[in-house]
A and B are shown apart, each in its own frame.
Chain A
Amino acid sequence: EVLLVESGGGLVQPGGSLRLSCAASGFTFSSYDMHWVRQGTENGLEWVSTIGTAGDTYYAGSVKGRFTISRENAKNSLYLQMTSLRAGDTAVYFCVRGHATGLKYYFDYWGQGTLVTVSS
């Protein structure tokens, strides 16, 4: 069974930092792209960041330069280092597995999410 379990969320002041972790199990972690997707107070889903199997990284414009995604395949773990946090970063952050089949691509497994609240 594929499981993705996030941790590390919490309350942080504006300008602060936080590191999210995602523990993966039930699949060959190193063989999949992994993503972070967030859902803010307006409840829409926003793609945040991707790390490919080769360690290539991509970011949404809203977080580029402030967030860093990384992975540790030996520990089946995904991370998101968040710095210079703003109120607008307040959201539930989901760890997500990406799946490619032929030329198609989709997010097939999601963690339960971890809440990040940026407030003074």
Chain B
Amino acid sequence: DIQMTQSPSSLSASVGDRVTITCRASQRIGSYLNWYQQKPGKAPKLLIYAASSLQSGVPSRFSGSGSGTDFTLTISNLQPEDFATYYCQQSYSTPQYTFGQGTKLEI
């Protein structure tokens, strides 16, 4: 199975900051990498698919990059509503859709 490792596990930032979250796959997965945001008590929400494609309705301050084994999610100009937990997911090795362990973004 492909393992997905996110870093850091938690991150403190302030409104207006730019933050980067990293996701590393245990083997090459091309650009088959998705990012989700989850707020407490809510379902995950798709932000980025195929490593860098922004899901409809997601603000442009979110961006994704990478291919192969190393990927990043960048949030520019952090807004109060962005404080949440972020997960990466590989969709290369279907149907084993492995998720990363999550990165909690805190104030």
Contacts and interface: CB of A to CB of B under 8 A. Distances in A.
Interface of A: 35, 37, 43-47, 50, 58, 60, 94, 101, 104-108, 110-113
Contacts, number: 58
A47 B99 contact: yes
B43 A106 contact: no
Mostly helix, strand, loop or mixed at chain A's interface? strand
Interface of B: 31-32, 34, 36, 42-46, 49-50, 53, 55, 85, 87, 89, 91, 94-99, 101-102
A111 B91 contact: no
A94 B43 contact: yes
B43 A47 contact: no
8 pairs of A and B residues whose beta carbons are closest in the complex: A110-B43, A58-B95, A104-B50, A106-B49, A45-B99, A105-B91, A47-B97, A106-B34
